[in-house]
Amino acid sequence: MIEAIQKHGAKGVLMGVARILRCHPWSQPGEDPVPDYFSLKRNTTSKKSH
C-alpha cells in the first residue's frame, strides 16, 4: 500500500484497499504490483505466485 500511495497519492489508498479486499483464500494467487496508472482492477499481466 505504501508504494501505491507514493506513486498515486490519495488514489493509492483506494488501490491498496482494493488489493486487500481481493486477498482471500479463493482468489487467484500471484503478484499484484502497483501499476504505473490508476486502476482498481487487478494487474493481470503478472501471474507469479508470492
pLDDT tens-digit readout, 7-44: 999 999 998 898 888 888 887 777 878 888 886 676 65
Q: Is the pTM of this model over 0.75?
A: no
Give the dihedral sign, CA 20/40/11/35: positive
Tell me the domain boundaries of the chain: 1-42
Q: Is 13 within 8 Å of 5 (Cβ atoms)?
A: yes
H or E element, residue 42: none
At residue 6 the predicted structure's pLDDT band, cuts being 50, 70 and 90, is: very high
Alpha-carbon distance values, 39 to 25, 33, 36 (Å) = 23, 12, 9
Which pLDDT score, from 0 to 100, does residue 50 have?
A: 47
